[in-house]
Amino acid sequence: MGTLMESKLTAEQHALVSKALVAQTESLGVLETPIVEDLLRRHKARTVLDIGCGEGSFLLQLAHRLQGVRFLGIDHNQLAVRDAVRKARRRSLDNVAFRTAFFDAGFERPSYDAILTRYTLQHSSRPEAFVKAVFDRVKRRGIFIALESLDEYTDCHVHDPIWERYRIAVASIHKRVGSNANIGKSLGSLLVGAGFREVRVQVVLSSPSTVGVARFAAVVRATAALAFGFFPDLFDRRLHRDLERWLADRKRLVRHDPYLCSAIAHATKP
């Protein structure tokens, strides 16, 4: 049985997911994009596959920064791929392509200099098989980069009851849909188990102090709208309303400095 994000989404669900992904790119991406760009440059990657590219916002940032690199983004959601293609055309980027596809052991076997996943592996119902399939499609001395959640470590510099309610609600949703919001803890062992070497994992904290108040509020607001839209029984209207007022209190956000925790892992194929 697959997770919710491995299933087909309605147009309304897709719109909520897309808004959350764009907000992630515009907020968390402030920290994540330079790290991924640096890794691709250091490994001299010329061909990159992004698995689970969504509506394309993160991959398009990389394609703009690295115009000598050929990027292919795949996603099983046709609506997401359609949006990504439109964005690429608007930006006149000819070094990136998008395609509807589901990644598993049966995926085509051309080799890539680098394979990238961003908040994708946590939704896989078979993460070990997923990472092994990645290993089989990376060139020798190629790199795999995985960005994933570490929700258990998401916290607040000063304890805040609203943020705690948000964390509990999000955790209950991950449990409901079958995704692993703490797969970031397992990235090292997953990569080694698949055959990768030179494994490194770093933790990234995205907070008002690291990405700015407006960006932090935007990604939390978009995630809350997604949670409330999909699961109003777990992320109820009262929490949604209280969170909105909380996000509008700039001084409180700066003083308490809540943060979202994620992990970025990379490894090479020997």
Measure the CA–CA gap between 239 and 236, rounded to whole angstroms: 6
Average pLDDT over residues 26-44: 97
Q: Tell me, what's the pLDDT at 4? A: 47
Residue at 160 is within a domain: no
In the chain, how many domains are there? 1
Evaluate if residue 109 carries a pLDDT over 90.
Answer: no
Q: Residue 7: what pLDDT?
A: 53
User: What whole-number distance in Å separates Cα of residue 4 and Cα of residue 227?
Assistant: 13
Per DSSP, helices labelled H in the chain are: 11-27, 29-42, 57-65, 78-90, 127-135, 161-177, 187-194, 208-211, 213-230, 237-248, 250-256
- Provide mean pLDDT across the span 166-178: 94
pLDDT at 60 over 60: yes
**Structural domain of residue 22, as residue ranges?**
4-151+180-208+259-268
Q: Give a yes or no: residue 74 inside a domain.
A: yes
CATH number at residue 92: 3.40.50.150
In a domain, 166, yes or no: no
Whether residue 191 lies inside any domain: the answer is yes
Question: Per the domain annotation, does 252 fall within a domain?
Answer: no
Structure token pair of residue 211: 């990405």
CA torsion 239-244-247-252 (nearest 10°) is: -70
Q: Is residue 231 part of a domain?
A: no
Provide the sign of the torsion angle of the four alpha carbons 251, 255, 258, 261, taken in this order.
Answer: positive
The predicted structure's pLDDT at residue 75: 95
**Is 98 inside any structural domain?**
yes
144 found inside a domain: yes
d(CA 184, CA 178): 15
User: Mind listing the pLDDT tens digit for each residue in 8-33?
Assistant: 677 788 888 999 999 999 999 999 99
Query: What tokens appear for 190 in the block?
Result: 């997953």
The Cα–Cα gap between 70 and 49 comes to: 9
Per-residue pLDDT band for 2 (boundaries 50, 70, 90) equals very low
